[in-house]
Chains A and B, each alone.
Chain A
């Protein structure tokens, strides 16, 4: 059930209306059933997988919490992590590693036939696995008490607004909300609806229309890669993936808000970043936070000198790349970001640049200085070009596409394509500019309700009229 379909809007309305007529315990039960219906709508065959994973983690967490013997606690932790990562490895990465290994052996002159299983990727597995890992690790380190009720824990894992493609929720943030009654104020209701309207606009109008250009450029329909085609494809995909994922996140947050849950913001105008480090504080914030807390810090973080810090950063970004998909293009994407972050650190320490900017300083810096504008332009283009790895089916295709920069060619259709791109990226750029200026967690939260309703309805009408091809699923659903 895609978020931008009438089926989902009907489903959400039904759930929300029923939900607020029930008491707290029945609310959780209803949400759990609704979440499993939502997941089963995608693919009912994998309901048992998420259920098994949930039950194993629930009992493991209780065992870990109740046991006083360090060895037993560690064994339970390892079992739980192994089962979660095992499912993820088999379903998502088996064929990738098997093919890559066979290819590697072939390069050495050894030809092996390997079992290539037609394994279907269960929807949402990357997301709920990371969520479960965070939970079990937090319980192990006594940062969190395990959920008393299996229903509460199952709901924490499978709550439908964030089930398929995040945002990945910190257990310490979401689980307490699941375990206590929720309320809904008018402000929260309006905030939720505005978020959903904003999300639909980002996805249906911006992302789906940019997708037409991106697909045409990458599939060779605009001709062989040349400077114009590479520019069109790169920029179009950059805005497609941003509109798509931020749109999805907004709908997820808005849907959760209507049920009384608070999901933190997941995108903070990432294309206004002045460095890659800042980009990763603004893009997919829930993932970068998870990677920081559960991978980078356990690896040692920045506690053991510059060399090890850079190693930890690089490894973390490689894993981030691999998490996105079972393809070397994603690994390359992660590696480029990792390398970029390390280079920034080195430059910062050599030239003693300030590490982070406060909110106020950032605002002045971004708008007023030519140097900061250059940094923004450079960061934006580095990010855009790494997106080519995301979009291209193989590393070779990515390089061939980028090589087009060296070729000059023109046809009149390119002018139309650039104009089309401008029409469908300008609105999101303006929205981001306003959000960057106002720095609100919820769009227009300080405005009066009437204004918010008018803006939301305008976004809905624009989505109804200018929605692109609705068969484009959210990009992050494939992860």
Chain B
């Protein structure tokens, strides 16, 4: 395609006019397409995706939690896929009633910073639980990343964008994408949309994706876990306390006895109850899914039972320690 040379002014005028018209037309077309996609996602994606419908409903329920003078007290239970796999919420609530009610808000692949900012946003939007329980295995407490687009859309408050960017040492491009994901449902959920559509095209995709998701569990030094956890749990405790909520931590499997004991002791030091209902010694291979990481239905039943007992003890101790029922 030949390029022509020309005298600058006349050609520049012609080019400018044609260019302006063409760009307006093309940009308009693109904006219409993007707007249509955005509206469709906001209106219909929840109907296509069971997972995101659940997240949307749990997010809405979490924001609605308020302290009440009468009736059961609220526990907001935050976590990732380990929480979903390990805890049967209906069963847990049966064990804890009538004094306590657990509301779960869980999103896959989230770790400490997802919930650090997630809790800030929830409290800023009006949530005020009596107790916040953070369910995470030790490596997730010391992990320094976020679940990118999903985090930006569901968990991050817009005013925290620069803080997130600095804290997690993000590049300008990553920060820009967080802003987009915080604003646009399409941008936040496009990977989920793709997974959903592909899952319908390829029924076996879920099993294949489970293989993709495997990762070697790298051992982390206990000392490193204790140092980082101490600082971070104090931070998140302050956030909870700003709305008069108490903070506790639940450690799901996989969990060694050594880590469970060390973290429970740390919890006593910083006045954050850390409960470890079950460790690796209490579980068999049939208690785990094929990935050897998430609990199976069998394991979930065991863990839920153990957790309800441990949680009740912890809540009773809290009440004793403060010499009065837990109040704001």
- A positions within 8 Å CB-CB of B: 1-2, 5-7, 13, 16-17, 20-21, 23-24, 41, 177, 180-189, 191, 193, 212, 215-216, 221-222, 260, 262, 412-413, 415-417, 419-420, 423, 441-442, 445, 453, 457, 460-461, 464-470
Report yes or no: A183 in contact with B6, Cβ–Cβ below 8 A. Answer: yes
Whether B15 sits at the interface, judged by CB under 8 Å, is: yes
Residue of A191, A412, A467 touching B204 (CB-CB under 8 A): A412
Which residue on chain A has the smallest CB distance to residue B4?
A: A183
Report yes or no: B173 in contact with A41, Cβ–Cβ below 8 A. Answer: yes
Report yes or no: A465 in contact with B1, Cβ–Cβ below 8 A. Answer: no
19 residue pairs bridging A and B, Cβ less than 8 Å apart: A6-B187, A7-B177, A20-B15, A23-B8, A23-B12, A41-B172, A183-B3, A193-B26, A221-B212, A262-B3, A412-B207, A413-B208, A423-B201, A453-B29, A464-B186, A464-B190, A466-B198, A467-B190, A470-B177
- B positions within 8 Å CB-CB of A: 1, 3-6, 8-9, 11-12, 15-16, 18-19, 22-23, 26-27, 29-30, 33-34, 37, 172-173, 176-177, 180, 186-187, 190-191, 193-194, 197-198, 201-202, 204-205, 207-208, 211-212, 214
Residue numbers in B under 8 Å from A1 (CB-CB): 172-173
Which of B12, B176, B208, B212 lies at the interface centre, i.e. has the most chain A CB atoms within 10 A of its CB?
A: B208
Q: State the Cβ distance, A258 to closest chain B Cβ, in Å.
A: 9
Report yes or no: A20 in contact with B3, Cβ–Cβ below 8 A. Answer: no
**Bound CA–CA A187/B22 (angstroms):** 11
Residue numbers in B under 8 Å from A464 (CB-CB): 34, 37, 186, 190
**Bound CA–CA A461/B33 (angstroms):** 8
Which residue on chain A has the smallest CB distance to residue B7?
A: A181
Say whether chain A's binding surface is mostly helix, strand, loop, or mixed. Answer: helix
**Bound CA–CA A18/B316 (angstroms):** 67
Residue of B187, B201, B204 touching A415 (CB-CB under 8 A): B204
**Bound CA–CA A81/B177 (angstroms):** 40
**Bound CA–CA A460/B194 (angstroms):** 14
Q: State the Cβ distance, B189 to closest chain A Cβ, in Å.
A: 11
Report yes or no: A181 in contact with B5, Cβ–Cβ below 8 A. Answer: yes
Q: State the Cβ distance, A275 to closest chain B Cβ, in Å.
A: 29
Residue numbers in A under 8 Å from B172 (CB-CB): 1, 7, 41
Report yes or no: A420 in contact with B15, Cβ–Cβ below 8 A. Answer: no
10 nearest CB pairs, A to B: A416-B204, A7-B176, A416-B208, A413-B208, A7-B173, A181-B8, A216-B212, A183-B11, A20-B19, A184-B15
Residue numbers in A under 8 Å from B5 (CB-CB): 180-181, 183
Report yes or no: B204 in contact with A6, Cβ–Cβ below 8 A. Answer: no
Q: State the Cβ distance, B11 to closest chain A Cβ, in Å.
A: 5
Which residue on chain B has the smallest CB distance to residue A223?
A: B211
Report yes or no: A186 in contact with B22, Cβ–Cβ below 8 A. Answer: yes
Q: State the Cβ distance, B212 to closest chain A Cβ, in Å.
A: 5
Report yes or no: A413 in contact with B26, Cβ–Cβ below 8 A. Answer: no
**Bound CA–CA A185/B190 (angstroms):** 35
A-B contact count (CB 8 A): 115
Q: State the Cβ distance, B168 to closest chain A Cβ, in Å.
A: 14
**Bound CA–CA A400/B68 (angstroms):** 64
Report yes or no: A466 in contact with B197, Cβ–Cβ below 8 A. Answer: yes
Residue numbers in B under 8 Å from A416 (CB-CB): 202, 204-205, 207-208
**Bound CA–CA A189/B14 (angstroms):** 14
Q: State the Cβ distance, A468 to closest chain B Cβ, in Å.
A: 7
Which residue on chain A has the smallest CB distance to residue B205?
A: A416
Report yes or no: B214 in contact with A221, Cβ–Cβ below 8 A. Answer: yes
**Bound CA–CA A181/B5 (angstroms):** 6
Report yes or no: B15 in contact with A183, Cβ–Cβ below 8 A. Answer: yes
Which residue on chain B has the smallest CB distance to residue A17?
A: B23
Residue numbers in B under 8 Å from A17 (CB-CB): 23
**Bound CA–CA A39/B11 (angstroms):** 31
Q: Supply 5 further A-B pairs (C-beta < 8 A) apart from A183-B11, A187-B1.
A: A183-B15, A221-B212, A415-B204, A416-B202, A467-B191
**Bound CA–CA A59/B214 (angstroms):** 55
**Bound CA–CA A420/B199 (angstroms):** 11
**Bound CA–CA A193/B25 (angstroms):** 13
Report yes or no: B1 in contact with A188, Cβ–Cβ below 8 A. Answer: yes
Which residue on chain A has the smallest CB distance to residue B215?
A: A221
**Bound CA–CA A21/B15 (angstroms):** 9
**Bound CA–CA A222/B207 (angstroms):** 11
Residue numbers in A under 8 Å from B173 (CB-CB): 1-2, 5, 7, 41
Which residue on chain A has the smallest CB distance to residue B191?
A: A469
Residue of A189, A262, A445 touching B22 (CB-CB under 8 A): A189
Residue numbers in B under 8 Å from A467 (CB-CB): 190-191, 194
Residue numbers in A under 8 Å from B201 (CB-CB): 423
Which residue on chain A has the smallest CB distance to residue B25?
A: A453
**Bound CA–CA A412/B4 (angstroms):** 58
Instruction: From known contacts A5-B177, A7-B176, A413-B204, infer whether A465 and B193 are also in contact, taking CB-CB under 8 Å.
Output: yes
Residue of B3, B19, B33, B176 touching A177 (CB-CB under 8 A): B3
Report yes or no: A420 in contact with B19, Cβ–Cβ below 8 A. Answer: no
Q: State the Cβ distance, B14 to closest chain A Cβ, in Å.
A: 8
Report yes or no: B18 in contact with A221, Cβ–Cβ below 8 A. Answer: no
Residue numbers in A under 8 Å from B205 (CB-CB): 416, 420
Residue numbers in B under 8 Å from A445 (CB-CB): 1
Report yes or no: A191 in contact with B8, Cβ–Cβ below 8 A. Answer: no
Report yes or no: B180 in contact with A6, Cβ–Cβ below 8 A. Answer: yes
Report yes or no: B194 in contact with A216, Cβ–Cβ below 8 A. Answer: no
